[in-house]
Chain A
Amino acid sequence: MTETVLCPSLERISQGDIFRDVEYFENCSIDNGIIEISKISFPNVIILTQDCDLAQEYSFRSLEKKNQDKMLISVLVAPLYNAEFVINGEHLSELGFGMRVFKGDSKTANNDLKKNNNPRYHYLDFGSESPLIPSIIDFKHYFSININYLDSIKKNNRLFRVEELYREDLSQRFASFLSRIGLPE
C-alpha cells in the first residue's frame, strides 16, 4: 500500500506531490481571425522532478540571488490513471485513443502490472481508507508543466504527497524507464 501525507497549502512543491485537475497546453493556432487553444485536463498528476532540484528552485525564489542558476523552467509530471480504466485499455477514450487492454491477458501479465514488474507502468494502491483510488502511471506519458502555474494552483489543487520511500521507488523506476536502451530485434 502506498502511503501518502497531506501537504500544508503553503509548503513548496515536492517530488511525489499529487495534483488534481491539471491542464496541459497542447497547441494554439490562429486562422482567419479565430484563435483556437487546445488543452488536456488531467484528473490527477504526480510530480516526478527530482526533489533536490525543486528545493533549490524554491530557495532561489525565496531569497535574493545573484543569478538564476537554480531556476527551473518547468516541472516533469505524469498522469495518474484510474487503474481499472488502464486494465480495460480505456483510460484515454475521452481523447479518442485506444490503449492496450490488460484484462484478459495472462494472470502473469496482470500480476506484473500490479507488482511493478512492467517497466513502463507504476502501480499505486493507496489503501481502502484513502480517497485516492488505485492508480497507474504510464511513464510514456510524462510531460512538463510550468512551475509558476503549479505554484498558483497548489493551494486548491494539491491533494497529497507520496511518502518518501514510495516516491524514491517511483523516481528510480521512472529514471530507469527513461534510460532504457532499445535494441534491434
Chain B
Amino acid sequence: MDLIIPEDQIVVEFNELVKDQTLGATKPEMVAEYPIENDLLPKSSPYGVSKPKRIIIRAKIMDD
C-alpha cells in the first residue's frame, strides 16, 4: 500500500509522536535528527500489518 502524505502533515504527526516518547524529546534540534522523510510514521497506517512475502528474482546471465 503506497502512502502519499504532504510533507507538512508528516512534520505535524512526527512532532506529536516525539513528544509522547518517554525521552521527552521536545527540543526542535532533537526532532530534526529523526528522518522526517520516513513516510511510515502516520498512525493511520500502523506498522506490521502485512505478512512476510517471498520475492524471487530471475535473471539471465549474459555471455561476455
B9 on interface, CB distance cutoff 8 Å: no
Q: How large is the interface on B (under 10, 10 to 19, 20 to 34, 35 or more residues)?
A: 20 to 34
Q: Does A3 belong to the interface (CB within 8 Å)?
A: yes
Give the A-B pair count, Cβ closer than 8 A: 111
- Whether the pair B47, A132 counts as a contact (CB closer than 8 A) is yes
| Cα of A129 to Cα of B37 in the assembled complex, Å | 21
Q: Digit string of B1-37 for contact with A (CB within 8 Å is 1, else 0)?
A: 0000000000000000110111101000010011101
Q: List 25 A-B contacts (CB under 8 A).
A: A5-B21, A26-B54, A30-B61, A34-B60, A35-B59, A36-B58, A37-B56, A37-B57, A38-B54, A38-B56, A39-B55, A39-B56, A40-B54, A43-B48, A43-B49, A43-B51, A81-B48, A91-B51, A91-B52, A92-B51, A94-B51, A94-B53, A95-B52, A156-B35, A156-B37
